[in-house]
Chain A
Amino acid sequence: MKNLYRKHKVGAVSFVFLIAFYFIAVLADFIAPYPYDIQFRHNPYQPPTPIHFFDEEGRFYLVPFVYGHKLVDPVFKQYTIVQKEKYPVEFFVKGEPHYLFGFVKTDIHLFGVKDGGKIFLLGTDRLGRDIFSRLIYGTRISLTIGLIGVLISFLIGLIVGAVSGYFGCVTDTVIMRLVELLMVFPSFYLLLALRSMFPVDIPSIAVFFIIVAILSLIGWTGLARIVRGMVLSIRERDYVKVAKVMGGSNFYIIKKHIIPGTLSYILVAAMLSIPGYILGESALSLIGLGVQEPYPSWGNMLAEAQNVTKLSSCPWLLFPGVAIFTVIVSFNLFGDALRDYFDVKV
């Protein structure tokens, strides 16, 4: 890890980014100042709340504060600052009760304002829901979908590729033609077709697993082909032959000698393919077939930003896009760094 940092600073930084994102996903209830589904009906499309250290007379405050906002034009969503109302931004503030890690009941949030003040770091959406909080909760969907999806599809791809490459001949031909058959479908339409097999209004958690299953069903083929190619070359190595001479069964040889030889590559490929899953989920959610409201995912939050006129007056609706971009770039850079790191050794 130290070497990795020395040679690939960018990769190491993106690794830290990813760790931070997963950290946020785990602690979402605590970090988000509001629950994802709470609607402040008097604050629709409110712009991000600025945090002040100086008040209107130029006095310095050690504890930063936010002003109260009032909706003056409900049609064009114009807000004015109410200068009388100053709410200090504090850490570990009491708010809505939630379960930390799923079982510790508490009502403490990382930060917030008291006494009826509101803080919307990234503004609100059309129902007055805090985009920052929803973004934090959305991390859970977008990041786990990548990990679980990659896990499933790599398991399938690894086994199919290893079997195909190791046994060769007819097995290889049959499996590879099937894989190619699956690959020729344009993946996005296959995604839609598979999704349409299930009803639209099913519980969020079911939708989540259906999406994961669909994405992994599409995703394993490329990997299977690559693993097969590697296995074809590894099985001709002398140590595989020696293992055979010593009486190792096919299963033993695949498990002990062939799959470990492909692992470093697979790790890199996994890192580089996670963004595909995140984008796949976002795409499905964007067109309304993915994770359902009110549960937020970065994709269905972006769906609100589809309207161009809305977007010009409320650009903060695009923040989920920034989050997707950051995570995907991080995964790619980290994957690249990992690849360079392993290349030196192999």
Chain B
Amino acid sequence: MVVLECVDIWKSFPFRKNFFGKITEKKEILKGVSLKIERGKTVALMGESGSGKSTLGKILLDLEKPDSGRILYKNRNIRELSKREYRSYRISVQTVFQNPYGSLNSKMTVKEIISEGLRLNFSFSKSEIDEKLNETLCFVGLSENLKDLYPHQISGGQRQRVAIARAIIMRPEVIIADEPTSALDVSVQSQIVNLFLNIQENLKISFLFISHSPGVVESIADDIYLLKEGRLFYGI
């Protein structure tokens, strides 16, 4: 079953504007890209820097609007979802960003960061939230003592684990991970990859793994796509 899908996505960025703000030149980033993410499968998306893989990820997360094309969540266009269905799309599709320094709000504690999604979307009691929090912390391999620390007090690897915990605490169906290991050093990278494998196995979450280094991707992906000059190619 296909959970998340994009069909014929076109996206361009304005390259040059004239004096009145009219776009005179633009750069085509995505030229009719279609991609399916099936339940429980891991899809890897590779490409050079600037090839538009992150943009595609953001379009799938509905953080950027494509020039044309549709995003389908369980075979329905997300533009046509009701408010409630859109919320369930928001809960089901989560993300882990590349840079754990930028993706955690430095003014919030680890506990607040991880439980934010729960507080936003569900009306759990404090003890239920705590229970889920402890369970998730344990799952991603973080000690409970870290709960009350701020992001600048923990290491880079720990931060990325916090970001992953935040993504999985709501039990999403898809996680779009935008180069989740490239800001970490090599030994920590393999730990994080192992964590992803663990999540895959135990929680049956689909992944879209955006990366530019084949090494990390091969061990984890079912399908590998390559984005080149705005078009998508299957396999390498």
Chain A interface residues (CB < 8 Å from chain B): 237-239, 241-248, 252, 257, 260-261
B contacts with A, residue count (CB < 8 A): 23
Decide yes or no: A247 and B103 within 8 Å by CB, A241-B63, A242-B97, A252-B120 being known contacts: no
- Complex formed: what's the CA distance from A237 to B97 in Å? 11
Looking at the assembled complex, report how far the CB atom of B78 sits from the nearest CB atom of chain A, in whole angstroms.
Answer: 13
Kindly report which residue of chain A lies nearest to residue B95, judged by CB atoms: A245
Looking at the assembled complex, report how far the CB atom of B216 sits from the nearest CB atom of chain A, in whole angstroms.
Answer: 20
A–B pairs, 5, beta carbons within 8 Å: A237-B102, A243-B116, A245-B93, A246-B120, A248-B116
- Complex formed: what's the CA distance from A243 to B107 in Å? 14
8 closest Cβ contacts across the A-B interface?
A238-B103, A247-B90, A246-B117, A238-B102, A239-B105, A238-B97, A260-B107, A245-B95
Contact: B107 with A261, CB < 8 Å? yes
- Complex formed: what's the CA distance from A245 to B107 in Å? 19
Contacts of A242 in B (CB 8 A): 95, 97, 103, 163, 166
Contacts of A261 in B (CB 8 A): 105, 107
Contacts of B90 in A (CB 8 A): 245-247
- Complex formed: what's the CA distance from A242 to B151 in Å? 15
Looking at the assembled complex, report how far the CB atom of A248 sits from the nearest CB atom of chain B, in whole angstroms.
Answer: 6
Chain B interface residues (CB < 8 Å from chain A): 58, 61, 63, 87, 90-91, 93-95, 97, 99, 102-105, 107, 116-117, 120-121, 163, 166, 170
- Complex formed: what's the CA distance from A218 to B159 in Å? 44
Contact: A247 with B120, CB < 8 Å? yes
- Complex formed: what's the CA distance from A204 to B94 in Å? 59
Looking at the assembled complex, report how far the CB atom of A219 sits from the nearest CB atom of chain B, in whole angstroms.
Answer: 26
Contact: A247 with B102, CB < 8 Å? no
Decide yes or no: A244 and B107 within 8 Å by CB, A238-B102, A239-B102 being known contacts: no
Contacts of B107 in A (CB 8 A): 260-261
Looking at the assembled complex, report how far the CB atom of A237 sits from the nearest CB atom of chain B, in whole angstroms.
Answer: 6
- Complex formed: what's the CA distance from A261 to B107 in Å? 8
Q: Is the interface of A mostly helix, strand, loop or mixed?
A: helix
Contacts of B105 in A (CB 8 A): 239, 257, 260-261
Contact: A247 with B121, CB < 8 Å? yes
Contacts of B94 in A (CB 8 A): 245-246
- Complex formed: what's the CA distance from A260 to B106 in Å? 10
- Complex formed: what's the CA distance from A237 to B101 in Å? 10
Contact: B120 with A239, CB < 8 Å? no
Most chain B beta-carbon neighbours within 10 Å: one of A244, A246, A248, A252: A246
Looking at the assembled complex, report how far the CB atom of A246 sits from the nearest CB atom of chain B, in whole angstroms.
Answer: 4
Contact: A239 with B121, CB < 8 Å? no
- Complex formed: what's the CA distance from A261 to B104 in Å? 12
Contacts of B121 in A (CB 8 A): 246-247
Kindly report which residue of chain B lies nearest to residue A252, judged by CB atoms: B120
Looking at the assembled complex, report how far the CB atom of B202 sits from the nearest CB atom of chain A, in whole angstroms.
Answer: 22
Contacts of A246 in B (CB 8 A): 90-91, 94, 116-117, 120-121, 166, 170
- Complex formed: what's the CA distance from A10 to B3 in Å? 62
Looking at the assembled complex, report how far the CB atom of B194 sits from the nearest CB atom of chain A, in whole angstroms.
Answer: 23
Kindly report which residue of chain A lies nearest to residue B90, judged by CB atoms: A247
Contacts of B93 in A (CB 8 A): 245
Looking at the assembled complex, report how far the CB atom of B230 sits from the nearest CB atom of chain A, in whole angstroms.
Answer: 23
Decide yes or no: A245 and B61 within 8 Å by CB, A239-B104, A239-B105, A257-B105 being known contacts: yes
- Complex formed: what's the CA distance from A238 to B160 in Å? 13
Kindly report which residue of chain B lies nearest to residue A248, judged by CB atoms: B120
Contact: B87 with A238, CB < 8 Å? no
- Complex formed: what's the CA distance from A222 to B20 in Å? 26
Looking at the assembled complex, report how far the CB atom of B151 sits from the nearest CB atom of chain A, in whole angstroms.
Answer: 9
Kindly report which residue of chain B lies nearest to residue A238, judged by CB atoms: B103
- Complex formed: what's the CA distance from A123 to B83 in Å? 73
- Complex formed: what's the CA distance from A244 to B87 in Å? 11
- Complex formed: what's the CA distance from A241 to B167 in Å? 13
- Complex formed: what's the CA distance from A244 to B105 in Å? 13
